[in-house]
Structure 1
């Protein structure tokens, strides 16, 4: 019976579908663990395939590649170095399972299957996997390890079964996406399992962006008494070797507790990591975006500069006759502070051309939102032309408040390959901009000082599509609007329950109708990183054709 066990935690950033690249990442992490004389290195959930693999699991050729990779990794362990606990899609009896595989002595020595397959929010695991049975512990170097896989930790049955079967340490591989305030929920669930079993728990989470999800890492360990033993810094790749010792009261280890980041820092880092990995993993050379002089495009540009480096961010100011001098100056100020390229392409000629093209059909009708939208679409067309000609991906700059209410132009400011602020409410945009102007996030490739002039944050928001226009001509004040939207979207509350929070009923009904009517627009919006508890896209699926709003 061993009295010590060295366990390395691999908080790393795999790429979905890049089996060969993930194998290289796994091997590099193992080499670091071997240098620290680890007995075992634990990787995130489904690290061989990347998480979430979605319908790739339905391809036999993909599962063949994963299984060949696992076999190759298993052979590595014949060298006497650390054993590996890797996650992979795994076929058993012809059915795909979400598995944790122990690789040791040159072969797969144990396999444990995920019991609880999440099938809510952004998760569709029941679509591609078959659940496993309640697991038994794995005996490794004389220590009985219980291996709940991610969602298994959120329910008591798996941990209780493992404890009853003699498990001594719970080791939990995870693919837990980031959302604001989720780290506390993870700790709460882990503490519940520890309280129920009296066992210490090691939580290893994935890092990095995958389409609309981003993973923050933030791996940790709790003692059998529920006390935090160690916490890795979020938003940082790391391989940490921990030395566990058997005591009279059970297994324990020592480590540092990385500080919990501020809410605004977490939101900002989520946007940075989501964009960085979306651009990098898909092979884009950089991004191009419209820089209006307003706060949304300024924040989008700042995130891009911090994620990719200022040299990979191309800003374009596209003034119309309604663009103010302040906006021109502020856009130039943002580009100067960020160190990004800025070009100016006026759209007056495009507006004149559209007036000439459509004038014969529009005769006798007063200008309205049609002409306003044509300006936005001229800008979208311009950015797409630059993307096609030179290669950078168009970065959309709209925020969640706008997308919620339809205050965005389809094929105009909504066009692009990625929407970095898609799940960030306008009130959060203001808060995050103030935070970034005062702080430099870890790992940022942008400037060390402020990223936008103060006036960009303080001036009234405006689309500048007609004279003296402000957002509040069309929308309620943003602090009121965002409160109503959070109630309707994240809270899924009714109009009556939202009004009971103190909001005006007519305003709530108006916002509810706007939210419903804009569903068809959101279906055509580019992907963007999930920040809140209910993001648009896979996380919130409402029918476009929907008569419920009219009936209540």
Structure 2
């Protein structure tokens, strides 16, 4: 029996377009003799739909669209579609109003509904806000041939349902284990509809877990994952299948839509080997692909065609410009140079060289006179005070205002260029360089910014060589360097990784070998910068702990880790 995985890129809320993608995949699969087609989790509405799920008309239209889709699916194929279904007992029992479900469409009908049992509520997930967990694991019996009375039992799971193997994790995450329950029911193989967000090297973890489960339970697993960018989340695809021995027998593309076909042999009771797409060899390669996809989809799905960003001649804006060029095309990127009295000659030269290397459009708007006018206007109020942060930040806010004005005038999407290291400690200017509709590298630490740029230059110079070797500086005052205010980025990034991503205490970080004074300084900066992060544009998530949807820290707090 042939099985297909439709690795789709849905747009949240676009029921018509999403349904058409599913239908096209079903038609193509049916033409190749496929009997069962898998689509990702909530494929009809897109994942994550968030509070759209509270909208009654949205739910009604989604279920009506499912009925329409069922009537149009080719007759010789069964299709599993991800959808939110209504919980009829919600009002009487006090349960959540919906189920996160998979609907099996066959012969013009909705044959069976399966509901997700394990609802994640960590990191970016908040499914218990909307969904009631399914009560039991179920399977679908699919007839192999209309001429024979032969069936296969297919265990249906949804994303998190496969993430509770206590033998793999060393502990239980939930009270029930759908994988174990389905194998106890004697199913022939297990399928999983997933919308698993990307983070660096996550596919290796997924495959290790799924391989362990397939081998431990002696059962094949077929895993269908979503691709695409939806707000701050990126989905990498990499749909995969394992045989009974836990060996990968099929893998779809990374960061691209795909339709892959594999085959289950009823006699061998196993999946047969087929095409296996290689994973990126380096983390830099997969991060690059993720960020490019994130910018491309955010731009398109939000209705923009062109982007704008400020070019300082520094490494952060250079990397963002390169990502944007790859994502939307050089003809759709505008870089704006805004030299101030503190901008070095080399910064302007480096920015202009980057523009030439990328082939993007550029404008130069010197802000010396604008800064002078601001200082003159503020002189009566600032009299008797010394030059400080307020004056330093003026040029950043002037630049932010100019970029927003151009974006507003011509309908461009403004990309902000701050990295994770800066966002963590607040080394950024609110209403200045933080302005924008998307923070492209807000989850990329400064040290990773450098490694990405070196990787990007592996074949030819894209990021100007001088950008890679000069000391980083915001150039907000004469001869300023980042390390005047911050520890070296190698030290800073390790402290941030330990404190933010690994949840280590200051004591643990100090015990790891860091200077106590530096650790206390950095932790204090991270805690005090929360008000800035709450007002930042959405940032593309590439690590397991980003300053976005999954970061829920208080602003007005007296707690400070010591």
Displacement of 1:537 after TM fit? 1.9
1:154 equivalent to 2:163? Answer yes
1:85 aligned counterpart, secondary structure? strand
Q: Is the 8 A contact 1:137 1:166 kept in 2?
A: no
Q: Is the 8 A contact 2:335 2:360 kept in 1?
A: yes
Displacement of 1:81 after TM fit? 3.5
Post-superposition Cα deviations, 1:369-395, rounded to whole Å, max 9, x if no partner, equal: 111100000000000000111110111
Which 10-residue stretch deviates more, 484-493 or 92-101?
Answer: 92-101
- Counterpart selection for 1:122 from 100, 121, 124: 124
Residue 442 of structure 1 corresponds to which residue in structure 2? Answer: none
Q: Which runs of 5+ in 1 are unaligned?
A: 440-448
1:525 equivalent to 2:525? Answer no
Q: Is the 8 A contact 1:137 1:167 kept in 2?
A: yes
Q: Is the 8 A contact 2:396 2:429 kept in 1?
A: yes
Q: Distance in 2 between matches of 1:6 and 1:540?
A: 42
Residue 70 of structure 2 corresponds to which residue in structure 1? Answer: 74
Residue 82 of structure 2 corresponds to which residue in structure 1? Answer: 87
Displacement of 1:236 after TM fit? 1.5
Displacement of 1:476 after TM fit? 0.4
- Counterpart selection for 2:45 from 49, 69, 91: 49
Q: Distance in 1 between matches of 2:250 and 2:493?
A: 36
Q: Distance in 2 between matches of 1:106 and 1:451?
A: 53
Post-superposition Cα deviations, 1:169-199, rounded to whole Å, max 9, x if no partner, equal: 1100100000012112211221232133210
TM-score (norm 2): 0.94
Q: Which runs of 5+ in 2 are unaligned?
A: 91-96, 144-150, 166-176
Residue 278 of structure 2 corresponds to which residue in structure 1? Answer: 259
Post-superposition Cα deviations, 1:297-338, rounded to whole Å, max 9, x if no partner, equal: 000000000000011110000000111111111000111111
Aligned pairs for 1:479-498 (under 5 A) are 479-498=490-509
2:347 aligned counterpart, secondary structure? helix
Residue 24 of structure 2 corresponds to which residue in structure 1? Answer: 28
Q: Distance in 2 between matches of 1:27 and 1:528?
A: 32
- Counterpart selection for 1:416 from 416, 436, 439: 436
Q: Distance in 1 between matches of 2:507 and 2:434?
A: 32
Q: Distance in 2 between matches of 1:113 and 1:493?
A: 37
Moved over 6 A (4+): none
Displacement of 1:408 after TM fit? 0.1
Post-superposition Cα deviations, 1:233-276, rounded to whole Å, max 9, x if no partner, equal: 2112111121221244x212211222221100111111111111
Please, what is the CA RMSD of the aligned residues? 1.1
Residue 139 of structure 2 corresponds to which residue in structure 1? Answer: 137
Displacement of 1:405 after TM fit? 0.6
Q: Distance in 1 between matches of 2:76 and 2:329?
A: 38
- Counterpart selection for 1:37 from 11, 33, 43: 33
Residue 6 of structure 2 corresponds to which residue in structure 1? Answer: 10
Q: Distance in 1 between matches of 2:226 and 2:470?
A: 39
Displacement of 1:451 after TM fit? 2.0
- Counterpart selection for 2:210 from 187, 190, 206: 190
Q: Is the 8 A contact 1:398 1:421 kept in 2?
A: yes
Displacement of 1:521 after TM fit? 0.3
Post-superposition Cα deviations, 1:417-444, rounded to whole Å, max 9, x if no partner, equal: 00000100000000011111226xxxxx
1:470 equivalent to 2:489? Answer no
Post-superposition Cα deviations, 1:126-161, rounded to whole Å, max 9, x if no partner, equal: 001111012121111211101110000001410111
Post-superposition Cα deviations, 1:520-543, rounded to whole Å, max 9, x if no partner, equal: 000000001111110002212111
Post-superposition Cα deviations, 1:316-369, rounded to whole Å, max 9, x if no partner, equal: 000001111111110001111111001100111110111111001111111111
1:355 equivalent to 2:350? Answer no
- Counterpart selection for 1:222 from 231, 239, 242: 242
Residue 171 of structure 2 corresponds to which residue in structure 1? Answer: none
Q: Distance in 1 between matches of 2:276 and 2:516?
A: 47
Q: Is the 8 A contact 1:160 1:197 kept in 2?
A: yes
Q: Is the 8 A contact 1:160 1:196 kept in 2?
A: no
1:489 aligned counterpart, secondary structure? helix
Q: How many residues align?
A: 536
Q: Distance in 1 between matches of 2:31 and 2:412?
A: 40
Residue 303 of structure 1 corresponds to which residue in structure 2? Answer: 323
Q: Distance in 2 between matches of 1:25 and 1:347?
A: 48
2:266 aligned counterpart, secondary structure? strand
Displacement of 1:279 after TM fit? 0.5
Displacement of 1:110 after TM fit? 1.2
Residue 100 of structure 2 corresponds to which residue in structure 1? Answer: 98
